[in-house]
Structure 1
Amino acid sequence: MPTSFEAETRTGRRRPGAVTDPSVVVRWNQAAMDAILGRYQAAGNRFGPATVNARALAIIHNAIYDAWACYDRCAVGTRFGGSLRRPRSERTLDNKNEAISYAAHLALLDLYPEYKVAIDNMLRSLGHDPDLTDPRRNSPAWIGRRTARAVLDYRHGDGANQLGTPAYTDTTGYQPRNSPQTAGAFDPATVTDPAHWTPLIVGGKVQRYLTPQFAVMKPFALSRPDQFTVPAPPAYPSVRMTAAIEELLDISAHLTDEQKSIAEFWLNDDVTPPGAQQMWGRYVSARDGYGVDEDAQIFFGLNMAECDAAIGSWAVKAQYDFARPSTLIPFDRRGRQIQAWGGPGRGTVTMDGLDWQAYVAVPPFPATVSGHSTFSGAASEFLRRFTGSDSFGDSFRFKAGASTVEPGLTPRTDVVLHWPTFSDAARQAGISRVYGGMHWSFDNEPGIEMGHRIGKVVHRQAMRYFAGTHR
């Protein structure tokens, strides 16, 4: 187990004149990402659970925000409103930092107890005592622990089943309609309903639908998990579905280095969904010279948007239970010759349609709607409204040969990904799933739009908290 956290953004650039050191809010955000990454890597999993991660980040930043709000003249918290507001003489930066740190510390311990040593050391590095469990009433440490405990108690009953054995176990009784298929050895004879999700057998392990109970989890700002939805996928078989299959076959046969780089960058192996959106927030904080006040608000709203995006997109997945390209394309094109990407380093080859494969690994849950697209649409909408502009400006250089799918081969030369606007970043994140063969186009664009609608609702709710008008 690590004994310290040292996460940084992959971009990490700051505009000239920006603050040299990130606020304590950003530092705890980085620590949270380290804990998230460490847990799923320790388990040997390729993917971090996007739903669980979104909820964890939302809880941590809800606790941080509620502690901070006690030291603001207007803002109200989500659990106590303004009843714990401290007098003006106590609204110092030191007190805010201390309250925030004790809140984040308690929330992280609740969510990632296996990293207690590192979490304690993080608090200690900020000048605070992790062994302080009974602080003086109304002190910053008491405020931080009191507000965090209230958030945790509330969220323990939100339907995610964090306290289950094991944690986050399905509570819906979901059963797939199709038997599991071995990745790379598709057997169409065992398919019962090709239009529905089929679990894969990867490395000898059968995929299990990741947290289907998030489809009925308690949201932050949405009135209910299924407040928004997307149009139903095309019927199978149909002309529209044939066109969707042909589109992905064409993309697969003509994958460019840029498309491969986009597919891999947004796969988020190193930061896990919705980790990319945390980088957006950190970049904005550095770009605009934010301090603890702005960071407490932006990361609160951003992660409430991401959590509601997870809940909303999982409600749609439960509604349609639609097949991934990784199973429907081999079923549809079995016995027919196709042109497609042939595997790492092989380029485009002629193959039996039964052998078609996605460029990137496929996660364990249904296709429609794309979570990446919904997460990204929600984040871009919230950040656009919070900052007052769609302007973003971040970029990333994907180094030659840095591919994890085709290491040493792809891309042949450096590929620079840049996002002038939040909308551009959201669109690229969404299309990355189509380039990678994980999703259909009809999963992507409606997902981005649904994300925008979620981001708008969350922003409106968050602003009421910030202004002290929430009731």
Structure 2
Amino acid sequence: MKSMSKIVAILMVPLVLLGCKKEEPIVITSTDYQNAVDKVTEIMVHDIFSPPVASRIYAYPNIAAYEIIAQNNPSYQSLAGQIKHLSPIPTTDNKNVNYPLAALIAHMDVSKTVIFSEEMMERYSDSLYNTWKGQNEAVFNASKEYGLQVADHIKSWMDGDNYKQTRTMPKFTIITEEPSRWQPTPPSYMDGIEPHWNKIRPFVLDSASQFKPVPPPAFSLEKESDFYKELEEVYTISEEITKEGEESEGLKIAQFWDCNPYVSVTRGHLMFATKKITPGAHWMGIAEIACKNTESSFEDTVYAYTKTSIALFDGFISCWDEKYRSNLIRPETLINQHIDENWKPILQTPPFPEYSSGHSVVSGASATVLTDIFGDNFKFLDDTELPYGLPVRSFSSFKAAAQEAAISRMYGGIHYRAAVENGINQGVQVGNLVNEKLKMKVE
């Protein structure tokens, strides 16, 4: 009987050891956060969101994550009270909460709310949940509970930004009787996108029109007028680039910064779309590159992403306010009517008024914020467009990248010079306001 008892005891040892499995710490890195944002970008490309709406999709999840970091790290200050109508997030005294984990969970949960393909985000988050739960169930459960609590707080605040109301507002009215007014362009002749975006609640702007740019040159088809000279310049540059062919630097720049989420392609009787990232996604990609190059911590990565996404969000509000106020006609329409009826721009003209240039505004805003975070003369290789078949480009600074992004729109044949140059200035003003108004990191 004694020997039988020994055998039973020996057999029980592995079971006891299995039952007492040592739980691992859950380590959340900057790469984990970057991967989550990349997943959101992937889903946005799949779902096809307009550039203004895409900026909203980036901003709120990043703010949710940042607020959790600021809750537990004295190096960061909460945005509550700094941006409009945001109240302090809930607190927790649960010692099992892993704050970076909770921040990432909050980011993914808010992201799921603002995209269409929720199931794609759920599959991604569920796979991570299973891993974390297996590492340390108590920490995972506590962190998830807190992360979702904060996510609900941010979503409640987000619901007051007028986005839902703008979904039911009337379409933009086309005024064909006035030759200076915007008209839909080939090949899809789509309606004007987001004509009511200036009604979205901004984060730091006092109003959508706070940085209203100087007006574009007065519309005129007189050949000596400033406006007509800018129109001719677009046509001349396009013709030169086309003659140079694939080796044209202007062509490479235009294609690199195209960032049109929906390009219509017609072949015979078929029409289909090619999908790309938005200009906001490109700048979020540059923020990721900067974080990787500096080996930024998880907290610093969340901070950089959040500040950049805030600049993008308010930049689009500022730009779209001007677009539908000036309501200026695109070069393609006028060139076809008055210069060359067979001319096509190098890039497909996007479906909204011309002035000011969206790329210019949000590039100026993003570059200004990123320069404040990482410093001037920050050299980097931009590989953001590799997934879309475009090569890496090198930049000496964020500002240099913004200048190239802006001029790319004229090379592409879709903007006049005034929209590019005044758009950059408009964006820089937005970025400066974000830098001055938001006290986020304690140095």
**Where on the TM-score scale, by shorter chain, does this alignment land: which range?**
0.7 to 0.9
CA deviation profile, 1:262-294 (whole Å, cap 9, x unmatched): 111111253222111011101110000011110
Give the 3-state SS of the residue equivalent to 1:222 in structure 2: coil
Q: Unaligned regions of 5+ residues in structure 1, if any?
A: 1-20, 41-47, 130-134, 179-191, 334-352, 404-414
Matched residue type, 1:198: Q
Q: Partners in 2 of 1:253 and 1:245 — Cα distance?
A: 13
Identity %: 21
Q: Could you tell me which residue of structure 2 aligns to residue 317 of structure 1?
A: 323
Partners of 1:96 and 1:379 lie apart in 2 by: 27
The 1:117–1:243 alpha-carbon spacing in structure 2 relative to 1, beyond 3 Å, is closer
Output the TM-score relative to the length of structure 2. Answer: 0.79
User: Which digits, 9 at most, give the CA deviation of each residue in 1:170-198, with x for residues without a partner?
Assistant: 625531112xxxxxxxxxxxxx2221100
Contact 1:215–1:311 under 8 Å retained in 2 = yes
2:252 is matched with which residue?
Answer: 261
Q: Give 1:86 shift.
A: 5.8
Q: Tell which deviates more after alignment, 254-263 or 118-127.
A: 118-127
Structure 1 residues 123 and 454: alpha-carbon distance in aligned structure 2, compared to 1, 3 A threshold: farther
User: Max radius of gyration: which structure?
Assistant: 2
Are the structure 2 counterparts of residues 115 and 374 from structure 1 closer, same or farther at C-alpha, using a change threshold of 3 Å? Answer: same
Once residues 248 and 282 of structure 1 are traced to their aligned partners in structure 2, the CA distance between those partners, rounded to angstroms, is 33
SS in 1 for 2:178: coil
Alignment check: 8 A CA contact 2:57 2:115 kept: no
Q: How many residues align?
A: 380
2-structure distance, mates of 1:209, 1:354: 23
SS at match of 1:254: helix
Is 2:278 the partner of 1:272? yes
**Cα pair 2:108 2:121 within 8 Å, conserved:** no
Q: Give the C-alpha shift of residue 101 in structure 1.
A: 2.2
Amino acid at match of 1:214: W
Conserved 8 A contact 1:266-1:432: yes
Q: Partner residue of 2:358?
A: 371
Q: Give the partner amino acid of 1:24.
A: D
Alpha-carbon RMSD:
2.8
Gaps of 5+ in 2: 1-28, 81-85, 261-275
Q: Tell me the residue number matched to 2:265.
A: none
Deviations 1:399-436 (A, max 9, x none): 9xx68xxxxxxxxxxx7632111111001100111000
Distance 1:252 1:117, change over 3 A: closer
The answer to whether structure 1 residue 81 and structure 2 residue 88 are counterparts is yes
SS in 1 for 2:415: coil
Alpha-carbon distance, 1:216 to partner = 1.8
Please point out which of 212, 220, 230 is paired with 2:195: 212
Q: 1:420 aligns with which of 361, 380, 396?
A: 396
Q: Whole-Å Cα distance in 1 between the matches of residues 43 and 394 of structure 2?
A: 28
User: Among residues 363, 367, 376, which one is paired with 1:389 in the alignment?
Assistant: 376
Q: Map 1:64-463 to 2 at 5 A.
A: 64-73=65-74, 74-78=76-80, 79-81=86-88, 84=91, 95-125=98-128, 127-128=131-132, 139-161=142-164, 169=167, 171=169, 174-178=172-176, 192-202=177-187, 205-237=188-220, 238=222, 239-255=225-241, 256=244, 257-269=248-260, 270-333=276-339, 353-396=340-383, 417-462=393-438
Check conservation: 1:309, 1:378, Cα contact below 8 A.
yes
Do the aligned partners of residues 438 and 304 (structure 1) sit closer, same or farther apart at CA in structure 2, a change above 3 Å counting? same
Q: Report the Cα distance in structure 2 between the residues aligned to 1:308 and 1:51, rounded to whole angstroms.
A: 10
Distance of 2:192 and 2:384 partners within structure 1: 34
Given that 1:60 and 1:108 are in contact with CA atoms closer than 8 Å, whether structure 2 keeps it comes out as: yes
- Relative to 1, partners in 2 of residues 1:85 and 1:467: Cα closer, same or farther, differing over 3 Å? farther
CA–CA separation in structure 2 for the residues paired with 1:441 and 1:467: 40
What is the one-letter code of the residue matched to 1:176? I
